[in-house]
RNA sequence: GUGGGCGUAGCUCAGUUGGUUAGAGCUCCGGAUUGUGAUUCCGGAGGUCGUGGGUUCGAGUCCCAUCGUCCACCCCA
């Protein structure tokens, strides 16, 4: 069977028309993260499988059944990263960034999860990641959450709900876990199959279940927040106060437990009702034990991962402004002399005005069809250079968007004229 | 991994109870006095009807399989 050559299932191309939104998002994100003093970290897409097993957790779905794992030619067990935090921590430890110091970093790139694709869920997707290390106080929890809020503001997207919870210290969590298991065990026969399995492996995830019968049981379960030790409770209150001071609204969701094992204390999720079932756009939390768990010095950390595809979808849905990437001008040229002159002129213009986006007609065609191309390109102005104009060293400048009548402009004055017209 | 919807021109779709050369709109290309777009008029290009089997005198239309896609479960960003 000859199979048509096509992209791998769940892995999408981003076409030029859509890339404008991506570029805009990256530009704004880099600016916002930079404004908070976060530096970019660039990491490999492939890591040792062991890293994710130890960081994310051996019994999580992500590691158990969603990783792209393989052996390379040397027999190493490697995986495409299913998330970014583990790699960030690995790099931090490896390069000594986490020894007794603070680090604020961000990271972006593709991540991979072998899942059944659906709206907002792909096998290769992209995340923006923000992480802060070496700061145990709740002010950094607030800062990290505020960064996301700032990003929404700068992008002009809205309608999020910030859900907040605390998992407490590992000790508190262990204690709570025991209480929860004891409670749930009493109803074991009434639980759904998944939940019964998780009772042994990862009981907190049962809280998250959507099965009605299980939810009923969960409703009467001991509450995590009631089991917080004094330190955790104080920390959580401080986070809430800090968010309140910044005017960031939130709701406490006691069932928010997150699917990755490394979280402690604060966990949060920015969700929206506009994306269907995959409603989490940005999620994260504190992971005070992770660095040590991966062989580094005991170092507190907190961060979030943000789904770029989901955010891009929201931007489109809410029609938030995205600067266009169309050319400013389309240069029409015809006649042997004029074509050569136009080619030189175009180079000069681009050199003198690096911000100018100029498409030079190629492939010939009559003026009519060239102007058609100019119009379709989305350019604001057309430059027209035929042999008549060339003989006088001028070009015709013609608005394609009803911004005044065509006029002739000398080659010498053209750069200044374009700057004026385009507001470069 | 489970369940359901859908796969006909680049795009959005129509194709009557299976029946002669598979249609429309948009896009694209060309033309309407030889150098002026987006409007109008005329013309043109473009499809092995996802793929492979099967039923039939005959299948885009029915059956099976397969791939893809969409949505939900699950999981998460």
Task: Summarize pLDDT for A280-290 with one digit per residue, the tens.
Answer: 999 999 999 99
Q: What's the pLDDT score for residue A4?
A: 61
Q: What's the pLDDT score for residue A385?
A: 96
On average, the pLDDT of chain A sits at 91
Task: Summarize pLDDT for A231-280 with one digit per residue, the tens.
Answer: 999 999 999 999 999 999 999 998 888 767 788 899 999 999 888 888 99
Q: Which residues in chain A, range 237-296, keep a C-beta under 7 Å from any nucleic strand B atom?
A: 258-260, 269, 276-283
**Lowest-confidence range among A22-36, A159-173, A196-210?**
A196-210
Q: What's the pLDDT score for residue A1?
A: 32
Strand B nucleotides, any atom under 7 Å to a protein CB: 1-3, 27-31, 35-38, 50-52, 67-77
Q: In angstroms, rounded to a whole number, what is the distance separating the alpha carbons of residues A367 and A384?
A: 8
β-bridge mates for residue A330, sequence order: A359, A382
Domain A16-169+229-317: which topology? BirA Bifunctional Protein; domain 2 (3.30.930)
Q: In angstroms, rounded to a whole number, what is the distance separating the alpha carbons of residues A279 and A161?
A: 10
Q: In angstroms, rounded to a whole number, what is the distance separating the alpha carbons of residues A291 and A269?
A: 22
β-bridge mates for residue A46, sequence order: A80
The reply to whether A363 has its C-beta less than 7 Å from any atom of strand B is no
Neighbour order of strands in the sheet with A69-71: A46-48, A77-80, A69-71
Residue keyed to tokens 């058609």: A372
Q: What's the pLDDT score for residue A40?
A: 97
Does CATH number 3.40.47.10 belong to domain A329-422? no
Evaluate whether A19 touches A325 at the Cβ level (below 8 Å): yes
> How many other CB atoms are there within 10 angstroms of residue A297's CB atom?
12
- Of all residues in chain A, what percent are helix, strand and coil, respectively (each to 5)? 40, 20, 35
ipTM of the modeled complex: 0.85
Exposure string of A194-205, with b = 16+ CB inside 10 Å and e = fewer, is ebbebbeebbbb
Q: In angstroms, rounded to a whole number, what is the distance separating the alpha carbons of residues A50 and A78?
A: 8
The reply to whether A191 has its C-beta less than 7 Å from any atom of strand B is no
> How many other CB atoms are there within 10 angstroms of residue A332's CB atom?
27
CA of A11 to C1' of B69 (A): 12
Q: Could you tell me which residues come within 8 angstroms of residue A394 by beta carbon, excluding any fewer than 6 positions away?
A: A408, A409, A410, A411
CA of A4 to C1' of B61 (A): 25
Sign (positive or negative) of CA dihedral A192, A193, A196, A197: negative
β-bridge mates for residue A48, sequence order: A78
Evaluate whether A228 touches A168 at the Cβ level (below 8 Å): yes
Reduced to 3 states (helix: H, G, I; strand: E, B; else coil), residue A253 is coil
The burial of A311, by beta-carbon neighbours within 10 Å (0-12 exposed, 13-18 middle, 19 or more buried), is given as buried
| Mean pLDDT within A398-411 | 93
Residues of chain A with CATH 3.40.50.800: 329-422
* pLDDT confidence tier of residue A134, bands split at 50, 70 and 90: very high
Q: Which residues in chain A, range 44-73, keep a C-beta under 7 Å from any nucleic strand B atom?
A: 60-62, 66
Distance of CA A296 to the CA centre of its chain: 27
Distance of CA A24 to the CA centre of its chain: 12
Residues of chain A with CATH 3.30.930.10: 16-169+229-317
């Amino acid at each position: 069977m000859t199979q048509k050559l096509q992209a791998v299932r769940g892995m999408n191309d981003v076409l030029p028309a859509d890339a404008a939104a991506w570029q805009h998002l990256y530009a704004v994100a880099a600016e916002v993260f930079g404004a908070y003093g976060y530096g970019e970290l660039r990491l490999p897409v492939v890591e040792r499988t062991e890293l994710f097993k130890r960081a994310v957790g051996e019994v999580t779905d992500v590691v158990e059944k969603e990783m792209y794992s393989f052996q390379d030619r040397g027999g190493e067990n490697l995986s495409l990263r299913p998330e970014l935090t583990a790699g960030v921590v690995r790099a931090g430890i490896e390069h000594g960034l986490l020894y007794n110091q603070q680090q604020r970093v961000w990271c972006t790139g593709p991540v991979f999860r072998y899942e059944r694709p659906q709206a907002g869920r792909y096998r290769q997707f992209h995340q923006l990641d923000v992480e802060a290390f070496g700061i145990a106080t709740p002010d950094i929890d607030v800062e990290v959450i505020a960064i996301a809020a700032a990003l929404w503001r700068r992008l002009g997207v809205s309608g999020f709900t910030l859900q907040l919870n605390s998992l407490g210290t590992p000790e508190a969590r262990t204690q709570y876990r025991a209480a929860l298991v004891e409670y749930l065990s009493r109803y074991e026969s009434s639980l759904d199959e998944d939940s019964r399995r998780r009772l042994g492996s990862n009981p907190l995830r049962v809280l998250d279940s959507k099965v009605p019968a299980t939810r009923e049981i969960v409703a009467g379960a001991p509450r995590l927040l009631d089991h917080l030790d004094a330190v955790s409770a104080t920390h959580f209150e401080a986070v809430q106060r800090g968010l309140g001071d910044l005017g960031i609204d939130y709701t406490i969701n006691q069932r928010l437990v997150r699917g990755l094992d490394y979280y402690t204390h604060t966990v949060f999720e920015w969700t929206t009702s506009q994306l269907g079932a995959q409603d989490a756009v940005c999620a994260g939390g504190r992971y005070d034990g992770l660095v040590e768990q991966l062989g580094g010095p005991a170092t507190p950390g907190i961060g979030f991962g943000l789904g770029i595809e989901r955010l891009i979808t929201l931007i489109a849905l809410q029609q938030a402004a995205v600067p266009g990437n169309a050319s400013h001008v389309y240069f029409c040229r015809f006649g042997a002399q004029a074509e050569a002159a136009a080619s030189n002129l175009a180079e000069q213009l681009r050199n003198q005005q690096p911000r100018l986006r100029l498409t030079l007609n190629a492939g010939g065609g009559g003026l009519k069809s060239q102007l058609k191309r100019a119009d379709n390109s989305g350019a604001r102005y057309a430059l027209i250079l035929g042999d008549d104009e060339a003989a006088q060293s001028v070009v015709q400048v013609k608005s394609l968007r009803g911004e005044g009548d065509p006029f002739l402009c000398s080659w010498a004055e053209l750069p200044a004229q374009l700057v004026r017209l385009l507001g470069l």
